[in-house]
Chains A and B, each alone.
Chain A
């Protein structure tokens, strides 16, 4: 209840504040979140997201690719999956080992601004989902700053936090690495994917969320307000 009241207030304030220089699509996004706060997740459209970066520090490192895949009516929709590369300054360097994106892949990539506009357009009527959402959202906020906008609050469902809470509730000791995407998936008997890119990870995250929601009592019974995190 408290969480819902607080989210409600925060979103309203955001929507009504005209001094923030909000991109238009983001305004629509906030409104969608507000109207769906009390709705069950099954009635809410979601957008699973994963961002590949050159490193883990939002201040220093840069985004190189974004993958998104929507969940509509409780089902993942590969048809609307999308993947974009983002231009960076300098080279991907050693990080290519992790995300597999090479400098030559970025030749025709979007600029940071284009990438943000594209992403906000995608999530006008959707709720973001990510594994360890905090990191992804911090990178997005940093990008907002880089293109001269305010680092606005962003909201997402975080599959990592969902599992962390579930594990704590079961009084289970958390090992390092036990909340990584594949480790979480294994607990739900989900197949392990070896291919590693932004889109595959977005898919893996979407599947994990569906498994988690089912374990928590089903998509019909859980409201958005219970899951949404603010950053």
Chain B
């Protein structure tokens, strides 16, 4: 070490993100050009000269940044920065920096700051307020884990189709020529059916018909399809549920490929699917409980494979869905078939398909009609069995008692419509607060048409319903994300410091709330937050930048929640959504802070757009 270098400055700087990513030589240059000042509380404010901008690096002491109007923006301690926003935007800094505790501050001149940004990508990304770029890099899927790999990765590029008015003979020739086991049948480029080897055998030859028969007479109409962005795992699930071997991949109405069971087998079997297969094979509660004990292992394998949080949520929810279905089927074996059609609904995280460790159950029943005393008893026995079995399998009872076993939530379609109508037409914010969870509903078992009727009517009533949307917005704005971190505390917007943060309620849930408001205001059917955002973008119902930032923030926070749970699991601590600032690196602190900022801004937009407030 050259003796004219100042070891203490270098030692401090090399531990700081993003300076820690600089080459040693560059970092030494940095340490040389900075200047050191001492700020005392007696001076009250740091004089930030906007004509001579510089990066302020806090070496010791504490500072607070606020707007001219006095609104707290951030509290800054050792190892944090201020004064860079002006250098990034080129705008004059109007924020005020208050000195809370005396301390040393390093000043990095703008020339060096700009040079580092230009030469070091990670440095630039760290400070760049276009935070989306920063986070997108983080959450990227690093491993091509089977359960989270997508259809697009395995589907063939070439698609062979035939028109519905062709003959079976022509179809058979085409199939043997191209060595295919199935053909997609199209009508003016749109999917209208599928013709498989099995159809030729069962519907033509076995019936003694000839090749002159038309394709449309032998094909399966409106086949089950899948979207290209679906997970391979979801395709597997669909095939095994419907007992089919071919799945047309459809984009809009246009078929773009076909996936066969052979394609899937070739992409190897997967752990979640094995688990679901096991669930489907169990014949009693005890063995189901035993199989469910593997769910945490599945979750933590997925976490360690660094899969995307939204995909982990979907995989995990699929397991819960299968478990629910299997339990219903088991109980029905004892009770006999239901006396009327019904639909088992999931709400909340299971409804949104974003379950994580420790999610409780939220479910209910739609009944076809008013039940007699005997019929009521049937559903009581069915639901009580399923709910307590879920509880034993690791999905605790809902503390708010929103469960199918609660007679209050075994409603006929008419009663559901009335309940929703009450929430929607005379929205009392406090009553609505407990009801928001119902707006994230998804059918898990039973008659889909009951659910469809309910959903269609609900969405028709929420769409463009300013009063209801305003009430919903008011509720959503009750809770705000924190500002960031200060030393080993979480800094709330009112300046108070708390020990830790619940990343679910102060993070993902806030985004879910915001996105739900938008989705209901335009009547979007999706309930998954990510899919809602995508649908909103497609309808241009949300500002695209806000939407993209919300997507990134959701994924980033959820990913942090999951990795935190993974660590808790490995340390055999109880798994929770609670995170302590001390466990976060300085980079993650900055990124979380940015994610909170996105939520805060989106809340501002909601306030403006739906409450007409500024």
Interface residues of A (CB under 8 A from B): 65, 67, 69, 74-79, 81-83, 85, 188-191, 193, 195, 197, 199-200, 203-204, 206-207, 210-211, 213-215, 217-218
Instruction: Check A83 against B3 for contact (C-beta < 8 Å).
Output: yes
Instruction: Check A76 against B37 for contact (C-beta < 8 Å).
Output: yes
Enumerate B8-50 residues with CB–CB distance to A below 8 Å: 8-9, 11-12, 31-40, 42-43
Instruction: Check B36 against A200 for contact (C-beta < 8 Å).
Output: no
**Which of B34, B39, B61 is in CB contact (< 8 Å) with A78?**
B34
Q: Which residues of A contact B500 (CB under 8 A)?
A: none
CA distance A74 to B102 in the complex (A): 15
Instruction: Check A191 against B104 for contact (C-beta < 8 Å).
Output: yes
CA distance A206 to B38 in the complex (A): 10
**Which of A189, A199, A214 is in CB contact (< 8 Å) with B43?**
A214
Q: Which residues of B contact A217 (CB under 8 A)?
A: 42
Is B4 an interface residue, CB under 8 A from the partner? Answer: yes
Please give me the residue from chain B that is nearest to A69 by CB atom.
Answer: B6
CA distance A190 to B59 in the complex (A): 9
Instruction: Check B35 against A75 for contact (C-beta < 8 Å).
Output: yes
Known: A191-B12, A206-B36. 19 other contacts (CB 8 A): A75-B37, A78-B31, A78-B34, A81-B6, A82-B4, A189-B61, A191-B8, A193-B8, A195-B11, A197-B7, A199-B3, A199-B5, A199-B6, A200-B7, A203-B8, A207-B36, A207-B104, A211-B38, A211-B104
Which of A78, A191, A193, A204 has the most C-beta atoms of chain B within 10 angstroms of its own C-beta? Answer: A78
Instruction: Check B102 against A211 for contact (C-beta < 8 Å).
Output: yes
Q: Which residues of B contact A191 (CB under 8 A)?
A: 8, 12, 59-60, 104
Is B532 an interface residue, CB under 8 A from the partner? Answer: no
User: How many whole Å from A53's CB to the nearest CB in chain B?
Assistant: 16
Instruction: Check B37 against A189 for contact (C-beta < 8 Å).
Output: no
CA distance A211 to B43 in the complex (A): 12
Instruction: Check B40 against A215 for contact (C-beta < 8 Å).
Output: yes
**Which of B11, B31, B34, B38 is in CB contact (< 8 Å) with A210?**
B38
Instruction: Check A78 against B38 for contact (C-beta < 8 Å).
Output: no
User: How many whole Å from B14's CB to the nearest CB in chain A?
Assistant: 13
Is B101 an interface residue, CB under 8 A from the partner? Answer: yes
Instruction: Check B35 against A77 for contact (C-beta < 8 Å).
Output: yes
User: How many whole Å from A44's CB to the nearest CB in chain B?
Assistant: 16
Please give me the residue from chain A that is nearest to B59 by CB atom.
Answer: A191
Please give me the residue from chain B that is nearest to A206 by CB atom.
Answer: B36
Q: Do A214 and B40 form a contact, CB below 8 Å, given A75-B35, A191-B60? A: yes
Instruction: Check B40 against A218 for contact (C-beta < 8 Å).
Output: yes
In the complex, 19 of the A-B residue pairs with CB atoms within 8 angstroms, ordered by the A residue number, are: A75-B35, A75-B37, A76-B36, A78-B33, A79-B35, A83-B4, A189-B101, A189-B102, A189-B103, A191-B12, A195-B8, A199-B5, A200-B8, A203-B9, A204-B8, A207-B104, A211-B104, A214-B39, A214-B42
User: How many whole Å from B83's CB to the nearest CB in chain A?
Assistant: 15
Q: Which residues of B contact A213 (CB under 8 A)?
A: 38
Is B314 an interface residue, CB under 8 A from the partner? Answer: no
Q: Which residues of A contact B40 (CB under 8 A)?
A: 211, 214-215, 218
Please give me the residue from chain A that is nearest to B101 by CB atom.
Answer: A189
Is B164 an interface residue, CB under 8 A from the partner? Answer: no
The SS class assigned to the B binding surface is: mixed
Instruction: Check A207 against B38 for contact (C-beta < 8 Å).
Output: yes
CA distance A83 to B6 in the complex (A): 10
Q: What mask results when residues 554 to 565 of chain B are scored 1 for a CB within 8 Å of chain A, else 0?
A: 000000000000
Is B107 an interface residue, CB under 8 A from the partner? Answer: yes
Q: Do A78 and B104 form a contact, CB below 8 Å, given A195-B11, A197-B3? A: no
CA distance A213 to B42 in the complex (A): 11
User: How many whole Å from B305's CB to the nearest CB in chain A?
Assistant: 41
Interface residues of B (CB under 8 A from A): 3-9, 11-12, 31-40, 42-43, 59-61, 101-104, 107
Please give me the residue from chain A that is nearest to B78 by CB atom.
Answer: A191
CA distance A217 to B4 in the complex (A): 32
Please give me the residue from chain B that is nearest to A203 by CB atom.
Answer: B6
Please give me the residue from chain A that is nearest to B43 by CB atom.
Answer: A218
Instruction: Check A199 against B11 for contact (C-beta < 8 Å).
Output: no
Which of B4, B33, B101, B107 has the most C-beta atoms of chain A within 10 angstroms of its own C-beta? Answer: B4
CA distance A206 to B40 in the complex (A): 15
CA distance A195 to B103 in the complex (A): 20
Q: Which residues of B contact A81 (CB under 8 A)?
A: 4, 6
Please give me the residue from chain A that is nearest to B41 by CB atom.
Answer: A214
User: How many whole Å from A202's CB to the nearest CB in chain B?
Assistant: 9
Q: Do A210 and B37 form a contact, CB below 8 Å, given A78-B31, A191-B59, A218-B42? A: yes
Q: Do A79 and B33 form a contact, CB below 8 Å, given A189-B101, A191-B59, A218-B43? A: yes
Please give me the residue from chain B that is nearest to A197 by CB atom.
Answer: B3
Please give me the residue from chain A that is nearest to B3 by CB atom.
Answer: A83
CA distance A74 to B59 in the complex (A): 17
Q: Which residues of A contact B103 (CB under 8 A)?
A: 189
Please give me the residue from chain B that is nearest to A214 by CB atom.
Answer: B40
CA distance A81 to B4 in the complex (A): 6
Q: Which residues of A contact B101 (CB under 8 A)?
A: 189
Which of B39, B59, B104 has the most C-beta atoms of chain A within 10 angstroms of its own C-beta? Answer: B104
Q: Which residues of B contact A78 (CB under 8 A)?
A: 6, 9, 31-36
CA distance A79 to B4 in the complex (A): 9
CA distance A118 to B59 in the complex (A): 32
Please give me the residue from chain B that is nearest to A188 by CB atom.
Answer: B102
CA distance A77 to B3 in the complex (A): 16
Instruction: Check A214 against B8 for contact (C-beta < 8 Å).
Output: no
Please give me the residue from chain B that is nearest to A71 by CB atom.
Answer: B36
User: How many whole Å from B27's CB to the nearest CB in chain A?
Assistant: 13
Q: Which residues of B contact A189 (CB under 8 A)?
A: 60-61, 101-103
Q: Which residues of B contact A195 (CB under 8 A)?
A: 7-8, 11
CA distance A67 to B4 in the complex (A): 8
Which of B37, B42, B43 has the most C-beta atoms of chain A within 10 angstroms of its own C-beta? Answer: B37
Q: Which residues of B contact A82 (CB under 8 A)?
A: 4
CA distance A82 to B5 in the complex (A): 8
Please give me the residue from chain A that is nearest to B38 by CB atom.
Answer: A210
Which of B5, B6, B34, B103 has the most C-beta atoms of chain A within 10 angstroms of its own C-beta? Answer: B6
Q: Which residues of B contact A83 (CB under 8 A)?
A: 3-4
CA distance A83 to B3 in the complex (A): 6
User: How many whole Å from A78's CB to the nearest CB in chain B?
Assistant: 5
Q: Which residues of A contact B5 (CB under 8 A)?
A: 199
Which of A76, A81, A195, A217 has the most C-beta atoms of chain B within 10 angstroms of its own C-beta? Answer: A76
CA distance A215 to B103 in the complex (A): 12
List the 5 shortest-distance A-B pairs measured between CB atoms, nearest first. A214-B40, A210-B38, A76-B36, A195-B7, A83-B3
User: How many whole Å from B13's CB to the nearest CB in chain A?
Assistant: 11
CA distance A81 to B5 in the complex (A): 8
CA distance A211 to B40 in the complex (A): 8
Q: Which residues of B contact A69 (CB under 8 A)?
A: 6
User: How many whole Å from A75's CB to the nearest CB in chain B?
Assistant: 4
CA distance A211 to B34 in the complex (A): 18
User: How many whole Å from A229's CB to the nearest CB in chain B?
Assistant: 21
CA distance A64 to B59 in the complex (A): 31
Q: Which residues of A contact B43 (CB under 8 A)?
A: 214, 218
User: How many whole Å from A166's CB to the nearest CB in chain B?
Assistant: 14
CA distance A69 to B5 in the complex (A): 11
Please give me the residue from chain A that is nearest to B4 by CB atom.
Answer: A83
Q: Which residues of B contact A204 (CB under 8 A)?
A: 8
